[in-house]
Chains A and B, each alone.
Chain A
Amino acid sequence: MSANEPAWQEEIGRRRALGEALEFDPVDFAAAVGTPWPDASLQSFLDKAVTSGTLDRVDAWRCPNPNCRRTLDAGMVESGECPHCGSDFREQGTQPEVIVRYRFAGEVSRDIHWMIVVHGMNSRARWQEDFSWRIANRLKYSAPVLIYKYGWATIDVLVAWRHRQLAQDLGARIRRAIADASEHGITDLPDVVVHSFGSRLFALLLGDPSFADLSFGRVICAGSVVRPDFNWSALIEVGRIEAVLNHVGGNDATVPLAQFLIPGSGPGGKVGYLDERCLNVCSADFGHSSCLSEATMEQTLAENGLWDRFLRHPLKAFSADGLFTAQRWKPAWAPLRWFTRLIGVLIFALLAPISAVRRLFDP
């Protein structure tokens, strides 16, 4: 075995994780790993990889015109003509050059086409603007971000009927946004970032049959108050969503309280999601909204940052510090939850008129 083999293997692993350059010219590969080409040991490594099935050998052709040199397929060679430069091989007395390339099985990286961000309760959610700004600067093409705001929700979270109302408003807005994006040529699914109570609304929306026509790309939950036993797999199975990253805060003191006051909620953002198809990643020192601070987003949305990798890279090779599998979770003792929620309902009833008046001036 060549001393360089681990480095070559590492390069293949790197490409697989990034979903880039899955097919390569051995000359380019050699340049990437700093091995002068031709190199007998690298050639032997590639041959062995082909024999073992790790790599596929791809036989192709190249246009003999020195000013073209584009890759040709079998049909083009049979036709005796290069579609790129128009060279007629018979008339010029030339032959397409046979070339060998290699390809390993793997998923290609994906793009962010557009996004939806939904904030949490009791918040002006300045992070949404910061998020949108960073995405716009990070990508060199246009990927619109729908900043969804449902107002400064306070006591609204205490009663289930308000959740449903807010989820329906969210669904209606997203449906309009999808139609609008489609009209402008963006037919790809939107990726989603939801925070805190926004995650509850999004989960409700996914479960609402009247919005079964809405599908989404990859979903990031931060400070989630969705129950840990929420069935994400069923949604992934039918193509309603592509994948879920649950960014858990190890020091999140808010999320554990959710189930006592917010009907239908749970500490998904602390315990993690039990669903094995979800990716739970814990940042041990993060509080409830640490994911959304400017400093954190600068890191997570930077190239190869946690969120960037989740949104763009193949998931099969996804890895992250703090990646964990949630083991088990049971809701708190039911009478206790009923009692605290009853208090919540009473608070709502008491403060609803004040809240309604307040929303007139500050929706």
Chain B
Amino acid sequence: MVKATGNATGNEKPSKDDRKAEVRQIILAQGNDFIKELLRAHGLKIGANKKDFEINLTAAIESDALTQEMIDAWLAEIEGWGNQHLYLFAAPTIAESKLKAQLQASKYAALSGLKQSYAFPDRLTLTSIALDGDHLSLVWHLGKEGWNRAKDKDRTEEVELERYRYEAYRQRRDRSTVRFEWRFADHYCAILIHRNKEIDHADAMQEIWRVLAALGIAEKPLATVPLNNAVKSASNGKSSTKSARFEAEGGFVELGSTLAQGGIESVEAVRQARLAVNDNAFAKAQGIFNFTIEEHKDLNRSIAVQIYGTEGRLRFWAQCPRDDVYRVLNFLQQHN
């Protein structure tokens, strides 16, 4: 979670001036398109240009129509953890002790220790590097467009003898973050990619591998950590399973639950069908699992996690703290 800038410390709530300063910083760093989304999301007056935005935002802060919680939530959406794709790879083999020197010697040295960036360039750009005694974190930022259906702008038109129908979409600007995270104590590292569907994961990974090679962390792409066994084990009563799919060459078996709470383990007929599946006969497995706070007491909130076993990819279906992501990963590693 990104902390608000300004004078606030600890649990002290940032003042309105702090909030205004933060908003100004966002506006300076980002284009109009991104700011529109924050205003629109809360039904606030948008305005015609950046100056209007700032005035409207300031007024909204003064009147408490835009609260610190709203700004935090907006920033968390970008910078926070969860609600993203996570790829697991084998940890690099480089000694942690060499990292600092290699980082200083690289062309990315200036990015080391940089704080929050509000920039969202059109190309995936490395914006900060954090290295401490137990982990390395590299963060890239990217601005992307998306299109929201705007049915109220649909229209039909008659041209000569033909009638045409036009379906309208409104442009949306999404802010995306991509990360490389490596906790030295783990035997895996992770690449996290924002949920934006416009991001080409292969392209993003290529950029990450390029930077990691330049930093001397990994000369070539690291090996994927498959999660097929974790899916098989978790779907066999070890975790609440929304759906599970097992693939063999030429076919697959898919099981699912339509319950709002609970998964296939709560539906006897489906649970017993799961018991009839010979795990060894299915090379690939994927599924959606509910990590609920009732079952996993150390989580901050319940999270649905979609796991693609062969790709070693997870899709987190909720915003959550970094610790929750690692708790889920630890659980899966135990069952993998």
Measuring CB to CB, which residues of chain A are less than 8 angstroms from any residue of chain B? 19-20, 22-23, 58-60, 70-71, 73-76, 78-79, 81, 83-84, 88, 90-94, 99, 101, 103, 108-109, 111, 113, 139-143, 185, 188
Contact of B265 with A by CB under 8 A? yes
Q: Within residues 281 to 333 of chain B, which ones have a CB less than 8 A from any CB in chain A? A: 288, 290, 302-304, 306, 315, 317-319
* CB neighbours of A60 from chain B (8 A): 260
Given contacts A60-B260, A75-B83, A81-B195, contact A141 B147 (CB under 8 A): no
Contact of B202 with A by CB under 8 A? no
Say yes or no: B318 contacts A71, CB within 8 Å: no
With A and B bound together, what is the CA distance between A79 and B148 in angstroms?
A: 14
With A and B bound together, what is the CA distance between A74 and B265 in angstroms?
A: 21
Report which of B273, B279, B317 forms a contact with A75, defined as CB distance below 8 A.
B317
Contact of B197 with A by CB under 8 A? yes
* CB neighbours of A103 from chain B (8 A): 261
Interface size (B, Cβ < 8 Å)?
42
Say yes or no: A58 contacts B261, CB within 8 Å: yes
* CB neighbours of B276 from chain A (8 A): 140-142
Say yes or no: B258 contacts A140, CB within 8 Å: no
* CB neighbours of B147 from chain A (8 A): 91
Say yes or no: A74 contacts B318, CB within 8 Å: yes
* CB neighbours of A83 from chain B (8 A): 288, 304, 306, 315, 317
With A and B bound together, what is the CA distance between A188 and B274 in angstroms?
A: 14
Say yes or no: B317 contacts A108, CB within 8 Å: no
Which chain A residue lies CB-closest to B288? A83
With A and B bound together, what is the CA distance between A142 and B273 in angstroms?
A: 10
Nearest-CB distance from B34 to chain A (Å)?
A: 16
Contact of B13 with A by CB under 8 A? no
Given contacts A91-B169, A140-B272, A185-B236, contact A75 B303 (CB under 8 A): yes
Say yes or no: A109 contacts B256, CB within 8 Å: no
Say yes or no: B149 contacts A23, CB within 8 Å: no
Say yes or no: B318 contacts A58, CB within 8 Å: no
Contact of B48 with A by CB under 8 A? no
Nearest-CB distance from B35 to chain A (Å)?
A: 18
Of the candidates A75, A109, A142, the one having the most CB atoms from chain B within 10 angstroms of its own CB is A75
Q: A23-B260, A94-B149 are in contact. List 4 more A-B contacts (CB 8 A).
A: A75-B83, A93-B151, A103-B261, A108-B262
13 pairs, A vs B, C-beta closer than 8 Å: A58-B260, A71-B259, A75-B317, A83-B288, A84-B243, A90-B148, A91-B149, A93-B149, A108-B262, A111-B268, A111-B271, A140-B276, A141-B275
Contact of B172 with A by CB under 8 A? yes
Report which of A73, A113, A185, A188 forms a contact with B304, defined as CB distance below 8 A.
A73
The 9 closest A-B pairs by CB, nearest first: A93-B149, A75-B318, A60-B260, A141-B276, A141-B275, A75-B317, A90-B148, A58-B260, A93-B151
Nearest-CB distance from B308 to chain A (Å)?
A: 11
* CB neighbours of A113 from chain B (8 A): 275
